[in-house]
């Protein structure tokens, strides 16, 4: 078929529009230095859309109009990686780092190392065919990931096309820039919606949105840090080093790290680690460590690969970042069990990727032991890089205006007296009808690990209590859409969704219900063990201390807490009302195999593809036990990203540490 006489002109205009739009999009989204107005950009964008629709033969998957487009997905398809996406072994001290270097020097005495920041994001594989991006996939378990092609195309610093028609696969780390994270959280706070926890979680959640429009709104970025397979040069030439590889990738338009260097000695490596540690706050992105890997690709081949990690690289993980700031006040909140918890109000400080203005002080003993006064300068850190906590005070910085903290004599919620049991650190409210206890208790009942009632957040709970619609958890199952749709932040559709979520929770099962009841010392793991031992809520209510102590890891105190809970008439009435409301009061967990019979597992950190609930369920389905703490009786610790003190304790006790890949292998044996 002959082309339209003006087709060459149209094709040239389309290509010009694409180049112009890519240029201005990068200036806007990546460098924050726009040269044209949104109106001018939109005119060019819609001209391109019009031409591509009118002349489909001019359309291309590499067009910027495909960066944000298409309908939302129902699910992500699985992708089997043609090149494994292994993780790295972690080292947590310079001694462990030196042990790695000694092992390398035994084989390669003159080794040189690429030393570069470890981006705190989400690893992805990106495949280009004839210079066009055709697939983006998450790491998953290293062998199988998820197809997120439509979402990675929304990342404006990632090229959709290369300047040369190369076929290759690269690996990168998707992250959310700090400025974007803070901007999004400022908007969410103003709108009264839940804040994003940290940039890493925000990036991971954004990339796995089924609606690419949502991903696009999160303004993610990416760094390419490895060449996986294919050809970097049209003539088939292969780079000899990692440094040469990254330089070539940068030539092709891929964003690569500038803060990298090549070192030869332990002293040079440590110096660069210290340098990167000092400049963490100056970077536009979060890092949680430094990657040290052999630079020469031939040296990597000589060192070889381990079972799940390469022998030619390690990741040095930074210790928890600490900062000094002023403690300006202490507020006291009342929890679901009546415990009064003090929280430090801080002068805002940047810490581990977020701005921190509040931190936990645990209890009164914690404050007294550390001699913390209101007005003190204090050191704060994030426990496990997640929860801000006060580490210590600096009394040498006092100027006389500081005042000691005193726990209030009455409950800040209901005004009733508070008390402290002998031998306990906790101060409690004496009023069982305390509004704060009721609200926190309902929030716990509805939480993800409990009855998992989606949409029943703190504001809705407080509104339901304020309107007199609920007085305990059982009242939730008497609600109807017409009762709640006129409340603040609620409408007809939201009300219907809430009632549907409440109805769905009826089938959550005994394990979740026992945890949801808020029995002292009964967490999710203990609730599962309790359900497995007795099978029904009625049997749990009749259990004796002796019977409960027969459950592994159940001590006399935990057993007595269970007996005490079910000895109160108000709790018995609540359980009866929940039963009458149609809740499933029998266990849903029945092992389908015995592969892990007699074995105890502990989960720590963030696993690549499994939630802790999913991993726990898989272990329990094979007769294994999942514990919340590491001891000499622990058989395996399953460690993911940001594993903390549990991993350290496991190593000190000689407990076998495995990752998700190894867990899946054991399950499939």
Active site residues: 118
How far is Cα 644 from Cα 640, in angstroms, rounded to an integer? 10
Which of 330, 216, 246, 265 is closest to 94 using CA atoms? 265
Separation CA 548–CA 528 (nearest Å): 13
Query: What is the Cα–Cα distance from 656 to 314, expressed in whole angstroms?
Result: 19
Rounded Cα distance between 562 and 556, Å, is 10
Three state DSSP letters for 115-163:
EEEEECCEEEEEEEECCEEEEEEECCCCCEEEECHHHHCCCCCCCCECC
Distances (CA, A) of 649 to 289, 625, 646, 655: 21, 19, 5, 8
Closest residue by Cα to residue 139 from 155, 153, 121, 154 = 121
- Sheet of 287-294, strands arranged across: 89-91, 313-317, 287-294, 113-119, 261-263
Measure the CA–CA gap between 636 and 602, rounded to whole angstroms.
Answer: 6
Phi, psi (rounded to 5 degrees) for 413: -95, -50
The token duo for 127 is 């495949």
Residues linked to residue 606 through DSSP beta bridges, in sequence order: 641
Both structure tokens of 632: 């000499």
What is the rounded CA–CA span in Å between residue 384 and residue 368? 24
Residues 6+ apart with CB under 8 A from 119: 173, 175, 223, 225, 257, 285, 286, 287
Name which of 101, 113, 95, 119 is nearest 171 in CA terms. Answer: 119
Tokens of 321: 């970042």
Say how far apart CA 392 and CA 379 lie, in whole Å: 5
Are the C-beta atoms of residues 363 and 407 closer than 8 Å to each other? no
Strand order in the sheet with 625-627: 625-627, 600-604, 636-639, 656-658
Listed in sequence order, the residues at least 6 apart from 523 whose beta carbon sits closer than 8 Å to its beta carbon are 515, 628
Query: How far apart, in whole angstroms, are the C-alpha atoms of residue 618 and residue 612?
Result: 10
- Cα separation, 539 vs 486, in Å, equals 41
- Using CA atoms, how far apart are residues 191 and 487, in angstroms rounded to an integer? 17
3-state secondary structure of 286: coil
Please give the Cα distance from 275 to 259 (Å, whole number). 10
Alpha-carbon distance values, 421 to 407, 428, 429, 432, 496 (Å): 14, 9, 11, 16, 44
Contacts 24+ apart (CB under 8 A), 40-43: none
Note whether 289 and 316 are within 8 A (CB).
yes
In this structure, the number of other CB atoms found within 10 A of the CB of residue 41 comes to 18
Instruction: Write out the DSSP string of 599-657.
Output: -EEEEESB-SS--HHHHHHHHHHTT-EEESS--TT--EEEE-BT--HHHHHHHHHT-EE
């Amino acid at each position: 078929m002959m082309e339209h006489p003006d087709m060459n002109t149209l094709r040239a205009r389309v290509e010009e529009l694409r180049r112009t739009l890519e240029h201005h999009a990068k200036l806007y989204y990546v460098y924050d230095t726009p040269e044209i107005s949104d109106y001018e950009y939109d005119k060019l964008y819609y001209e391109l859309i019009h031409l591509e629709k009118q002349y489909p033969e001019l359309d291309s998957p590499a067009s910027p109009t495909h960066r944000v487009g298409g309908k939302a997905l129902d699910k992500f398809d699985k992708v089997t990686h043609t090149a494994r996406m292994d993780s790295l072994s972690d080292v947590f001290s310079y001694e462990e780092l030196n042990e790695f270097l000694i092992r390398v020097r035994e084989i390669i005495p003159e080794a040189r190392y690429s030393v570069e920041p470890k981006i705190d994001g989400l690893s992805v594989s990106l495949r280009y065919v004839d210079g066009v991006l055709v697939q983006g996939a998450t790491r998953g378990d290293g062998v199988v990931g998820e197809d997120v092609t439509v979402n990675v195309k929304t990342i404006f610093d990632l090229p959709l096309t290369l300047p040369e028609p190369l076929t290759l696969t690269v690996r990168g780390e998707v992250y959310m820039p700090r400025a974007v994270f803070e901007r999004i959280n400022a908007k969410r706070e103003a709108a009264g919606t839940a804040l994003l926890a940290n940039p890493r979680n925000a990036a991971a959640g954004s990339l796995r949105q089924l609606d690419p429009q949502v991903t696009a709104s999160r303004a993610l970025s990416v760094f390419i840090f490895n060449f996986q397979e294919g050809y970097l040069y049209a003539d088939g030439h292969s780079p000899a080093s990692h440094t040469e590889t990254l330089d070539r990738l940068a030539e092709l338009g891929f964003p690569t790290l500038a803060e990298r260097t090549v070192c030869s000695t332990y002293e040079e490596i440590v110096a660069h680690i210290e340098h990167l540690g000092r400049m963490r706050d100056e970077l536009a992105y979060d890092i949680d460590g430094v990657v040290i890997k052999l630079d020469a690709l031939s040296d990597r081949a000589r060192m070889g690969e381990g079972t799940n990690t390469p022998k030619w690289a390690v990741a040095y993980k930074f210790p928890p970042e600490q900062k000094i700031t002023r403690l300006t006040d202490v507020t006291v909140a009342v929890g679901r069990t009546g415990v009064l918890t003090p929280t430090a109000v801080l002068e805002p400080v940047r810490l581990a990727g977020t701005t921190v203005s509040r931190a936990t002080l645990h209890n009164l003993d914690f404050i007294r032991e550390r001699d913390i006064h209101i007005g003190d300068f204090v050191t704060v850190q994030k426990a496990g890089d997640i929860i801000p906590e006060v580490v210590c005070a600096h009394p040498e910085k006092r100027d006389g205006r500081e005042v000691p903290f005193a726990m209030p004599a009455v409950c800040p919620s209901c005004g009733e007296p508070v008390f402290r049991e002998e031998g306990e650190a906790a101060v409690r409210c004496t009023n069982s009808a305390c509004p704060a206890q009721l609200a926190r208790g309902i929030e716990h009942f509805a939480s993800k690990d409990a009855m998992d009632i989606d949409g029943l957040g703190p504001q809705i709970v407080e509104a339901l209590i304020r309107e007199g619609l609920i007085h305990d958890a059982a009242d939730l199952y008497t609600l109807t859409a017409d009762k709640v749709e006129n409340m603040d932040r609620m409408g007809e559709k939201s009300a219907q969704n809430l009632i549907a979520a409440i109805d769905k929770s009826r089938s959550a099962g005994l394990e979740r219900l026992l945890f949801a009841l808020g029995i002292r010392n009964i967490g999710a793991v203990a609730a599962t063990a309790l359900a497995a031992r007795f099978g029904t809520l009625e049997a749990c209510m009749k259990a004796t201390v002796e019977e409960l102590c027969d459950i592994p890891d159940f001590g006399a105190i935990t057993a007595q807490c269970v007996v005490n809970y079910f000895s109160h008439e108000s709790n018995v009435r609540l359980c009866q009302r929940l039963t009458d409301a149609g809740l499933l009061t029998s266990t849903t967990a029945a092992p389908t195999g015995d592969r892990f019979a007699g074995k105890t597992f502990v989960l720590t950190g963030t696993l690549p593809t499994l939630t802790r609930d999913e991993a726990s369920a898989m272990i329990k389905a094979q007769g294994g036990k999942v514990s919340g703490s590491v001891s000499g009786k622990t058989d395996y610790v399953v460690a993911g990203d940001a594993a903390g003190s549990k991993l350290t304790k496991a190593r000190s006790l000689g407990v076998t540490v495995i990752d998700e890949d190894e867990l899946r292998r054991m399950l499939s044996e």
